[in-house]
Amino acid sequence: MSLLIPGALPPAPVAAALAERLPALAPALLAWLQAAAAHTDPQDVHALGCTPAEAWQLRRAGCTPDAGQTLGAGLGPWLAAQAGAPETGTTPVWLADLTHLSVGTDRATLADPLQLDVRAEEGLALFDAALPWLREDGFDAVALTPGRWRMTLPDGLSPRSASPAAVASHALHDWWPQDAASRPWRRLLNSVQMAWHEHPVNDARAARGALPLNGLWLYGGARPWTPQADQAQVLAQLDAAHRAADWAAWLDALPALDRALQAAGDATELTLAGADRLVTLTRNPRSPLLAWLPRPKKNWNTWWSLPV
């Protein structure tokens, strides 16, 4: 079995300090680090159109986007299938996630999807408010989850985009489609923002301290494929804290991760994901003649604490 741990590679400025806590909080993870051979694979998020963890999962599923598409385009059909709406045929699958767009003095940013907590009744009310605007501009949508829609785009519209998780907290200008062909989407987004401005849903969210939902993020666009059967498991205990750069919460989550890692004791490969790299750890079976000897320890700090 292969395991993936999103958020397991903290950035260099904090990695060394966090590593000092591993013996007490995550002995099973530390045992992997000390005993396994490591292969580091840098990941260009802009080129991928998704996070390294998402890229790992798409590759394992056998995603092969068309020429000119990013790997992240495969999130369209892949996530639609996970939501119970698998697509067949050759029609590209586009998704739009409800999101929060924040405009500051020097840049606009997209909120991390894990911060949003979209409730079922909220998603339904905002969908009903936006649907007339979508159809007026030549779009259509079907709600898959409270915070995610399956989109139908006007003919000829096929923007290059990236997953919300990849874009979150970065300057939106670097990801926002500026070409003339994407003008219908930008116009629709303005309409949706007006429809949701001061909507009762956002009033209720403000009352409970949640971010307002004031936009849609479009991504996907790959054609459906049949995912490969895969013996892989994702251990996501560290993901939210890593994405929020909350290192106290990251340390708090280590014991739960370690218990999950121990429960998956038959794993032969462990992949750690960070913001811009993957590190794959492999442990080869030992000869019975060496079973009584301690495993030689790897110098794992050389790749843990240093930037790629």
Q: What is the mean pLDDT of residues 186-215?
A: 91
pLDDT tens for 115-149 read: 999 999 999 999 999 999 999 989 999 999 999 99
| pLDDT band at residue 178 under the 50/70/90 scheme | confident
Q: Label residue 217 exposed, middle or buried (CB < 10 Å: 0-12, 13-18, 19+).
A: buried
CA 99 – CA 269 distance, rounded (Å) = 35
Cα dihedral 277, 280, 281, 287 sign: negative
pLDDT of amino acid 171: 79
* Residue 252 pLDDT > 60: yes
Instruction: Give CA angle at 191 (205, 116), nearest 5°.
Output: 25
Contacts of 283-287 with C-beta under 8 Å, sequence gap 24+, read 283/32, 283/35, 283/36, 283/37, 284/37
| pLDDT band at residue 158 under the 50/70/90 scheme | confident
CA 138 – CA 193 distance, rounded (Å) = 17
Domain residue ranges in the chain? 2-47+229-283, 63-222
Q: What is the mean pLDDT of residues 242-257?
A: 96
pLDDT tens for 204-248 read: 999 999 999 999 999 999 999 988 877 789 999 999 999 999 999
* Residue 296 pLDDT > 80: no
Whether residue 92 contacts residue 222, with contact meaning beta carbons closer than 8 Å, is answered with: yes
Name the residue with higher pLDDT: 37 or 290: 37
Structure tokens at 33: 């680090």
| pLDDT band at residue 292 under the 50/70/90 scheme | low
| pLDDT band at residue 27 under the 50/70/90 scheme | very high
pLDDT tens for 76-128 read: 999 999 888 777 788 999 999 999 988 776 778 899 999 999 999 999 999 99
pTM of this prediction? 0.91
Percentage of residues of the chain with pLDDT beyond 90: 66
pLDDT of amino acid 308: 42
